Structure 1
């Protein structure tokens, strides 16, 4: 049947790219490393050093997932080819939707794997700490910040990652003043690091009785969660701890307790870093403090990396000042619909899709530009 023959051609055209993924992902090296780590984990006394053993087992899981994902993609290809041959032999049109769906899924998974080959930064496989700050403009800007919050949580759900609300500050009338979420999953930071910067919205404000067009800004900060084995010098005397009552959207986002924690970094004898972190996600003050310490570690590592010019691009990509007017991306709702990234020139008119978490086009364009150095702006 013609439909099955067409998909056999598509599958055969896809096969070189599928085979090339093994080389691009350097799977032979992953197998060798996994064998070495498995031998190490089987050695006597492996669990004597708990911190080291946990690091090894984490790495083993990552390698196992990487190898298994490619085996699964190869198996999907074989299954689809078998379905096409079976459909031809039996002239069974009922198999066509299954072939169509399976092919689309395989293409999407291959594209995601291809993107992962571009993640070569030191912390790209880490969890991501994402913070959104509303810019000047009151309710309009705070509403925009909440729209971005929804966009990123939808993106997280689309990719089967998980997130925890760490801090959530309601706006005065609507929206949010700021929010911090921990996005957990392999390569979360690597995929999202390009979102760091100022995001600009142009629309007719629903808060303006005269229905005038408004421009709003919000700043998005992306940091990797730094592994525990990375040494960061934080002296107890350099930290001021404040305890306050949690405040969220009617208890929808966080627990309202009196155990929320804010840490202010004030290094003795050094220039203040200006770092302030807070956590409201846990009922326990101790747990909130631990979360704050993880965030503080990440911010201090960011400062250390910025002190070394050769590592700046690894952490934040193209450097643009976080100030109003230096936006990385514009979202235009009126008088036309367009979302455009200023750094890569990637754009789409599907505004609703973007706001519902469809960011893969922007992420793909950013990672490709970062790998090739082909930026629209320098």
Structure 2
């Protein structure tokens, strides 16, 4: 069909997976079995959509042929003309669904996710804004039915966060949160501002798909692990044992600290989880950069230096600069109602990926 990539490679891949799944020890490697089962479902859905589109094209062609047939019954022609608009709408709908479905799914979409928020420019106001983002994501997780596990926090005397991190677990967590990576800017009047002047502050958000041990190999010799006594603002939350853990990954220079738990072992396990996820993110980013020239228009999903969004409290407006979207519902958004924004970002990303796929398809022909 014109404008639709060839379906045969997908049919061939589906047949290959059928053979792999028929092997007796298929489920001995649980992770591989899960990935292949997911791909099996994806290719099956693709083929079904393609066949439904083929049928819609056939029905549409049949109606047009009937309408143009001089010898056809007039009553049947009228019925065919009445159905024409509905069939055209059905075909376009199936066509769009098929094109989106043909986009390869991000293998990380179904992963649990580590979110790291850090105060940027703006002093205490930046740390307070970091706490606003922290609360916003917690509320969104509640709405989605996800669970949150604290990974670490560095609080300020003003009641905000210099930095805070947490693990989000649930269905398709990374799929929805991956567009949050970047610089978030806030414009509002701080509570300490007597003149009512609007201040601008920033916070950075990093969204990391949770890595498993099989994703990233970390040699013990590459790690420098130290422990220290945990501390908290105003003397609160201070441990009386050396439970805080810092891990330096010498090859990359990455430093991870965790003091959230009172157990040194638990802090070490959490720190290793964060380290693996940061290394996985770096590896994925390096791979993505290889193809950056082909995807310049794609919605950014990983650059922490990119200013992605402005939260304008005086005007109750949120603006996402990547897709030029402004929403006059900031109070609801900071209460966790992010779905409209997430859908818009995903749609823009899909459109950019579709455009790149169609261009690549044309060049291949």
Give the match's secondary structure for 1:328: strand
What is the count of residue pairs matched by the alignment?
283
Write out aligned runs for 1:131-170 (5 A): 131-170=116-155
User: Is the 2:138–2:336 contact (alpha carbons within 8 Å) kept by the matching residues of 1?
Assistant: yes
Structure 2 segments unaligned to the other structure (5+ residues): 1-9, 45-97, 355-365
Matched, 1:130 2:115: yes
Cα distance in structure 1, aligned partners of 2:26 and 2:203: 51
Cα distance change, pair 264–337 in 1 and its aligned pair in 2 (3 A): same
Cα distance change, pair 229–178 in 1 and its aligned pair in 2 (3 A): same
Cα distance in structure 2, aligned partners of 1:239 and 1:209: 49
Cα distance change, pair 204–256 in 1 and its aligned pair in 2 (3 A): farther
User: Is the 1:262–1:277 contact (alpha carbons within 8 Å) kept by the matching residues of 2?
Assistant: yes
User: Is the 1:199–1:217 contact (alpha carbons within 8 Å) kept by the matching residues of 2?
Assistant: yes
Matched, 1:338 2:317: yes
Cα distance in structure 2, aligned partners of 1:36 and 1:256: 55
Cα distance in structure 2, aligned partners of 1:63 and 1:291: 33
Matched, 1:329 2:313: no
Cα distance in structure 2, aligned partners of 1:170 and 1:258: 19
User: Is the 2:187–2:312 contact (alpha carbons within 8 Å) kept by the matching residues of 1?
Assistant: yes
User: Is the 2:181–2:206 contact (alpha carbons within 8 Å) kept by the matching residues of 1?
Assistant: yes
* 2:226 paired residue number: 242
Cα distance in structure 2, aligned partners of 1:263 and 1:294: 11
* 1:82 paired residue number: none
- Pick one of 178, 197, 200 that aligns with 2:163: 178
User: Is the 1:143–1:176 contact (alpha carbons within 8 Å) kept by the matching residues of 2?
Assistant: yes
Matched, 1:291 2:270: yes
RMSD: 4.0
User: Is the 1:168–1:247 contact (alpha carbons within 8 Å) kept by the matching residues of 2?
Assistant: no
Matched, 1:211 2:205: no
* 1:6 paired residue number: none
User: Is the 2:246–2:271 contact (alpha carbons within 8 Å) kept by the matching residues of 1?
Assistant: yes
Cα distance in structure 1, aligned partners of 2:228 and 2:212: 28
Tell me how far 1:137 sits from its aligned partner: 1.8
Matched, 1:199 2:179: no
Give the match's secondary structure for 2:336: coil
Give the match's secondary structure for 1:139: helix
Tell me how far 1:224 sits from its aligned partner: 0.3
Tell me how far 1:165 sits from its aligned partner: 0.4
Structure of higher CA gyration radius: 2
TM-score by length of 1: 0.64
Cα distance in structure 2, aligned partners of 1:141 and 1:127: 27
Structure 1 segments unaligned to the other structure (5+ residues): 1-25, 68-113, 268-272
Cα distance change, pair 34–278 in 1 and its aligned pair in 2 (3 A): farther
Give the match's secondary structure for 1:125: coil
Give the match's secondary structure for 2:307: coil
Cα distance change, pair 186–319 in 1 and its aligned pair in 2 (3 A): closer
Cα distance change, pair 189–237 in 1 and its aligned pair in 2 (3 A): same
* 2:243 paired residue number: 259
Cα distance in structure 2, aligned partners of 1:311 and 1:251: 49
Give the match's secondary structure for 1:240: strand
Matched, 1:350 2:350: no
* 1:318 paired residue number: 300
* 2:94 paired residue number: none
Deviation digits for residues 164-187 of structure 1 (CA, Å, limit 9, x no counterpart): 000111013221100000001121
Give the match's secondary structure for 1:174: coil
Cα distance in structure 1, aligned partners of 2:36 and 2:240: 37
Give the match's secondary structure for 2:270: helix
Cα distance in structure 2, aligned partners of 1:166 and 1:240: 20
Cα distance in structure 1, aligned partners of 2:38 and 2:282: 30
Tell me how far 1:371 sits from its aligned partner: 1.2
Give the match's secondary structure for 2:324: coil
Cα distance change, pair 251–355 in 1 and its aligned pair in 2 (3 A): farther
Tell me how far 1:122 sits from its aligned partner: 2.1
Cα distance in structure 1, aligned partners of 2:104 and 2:192: 41
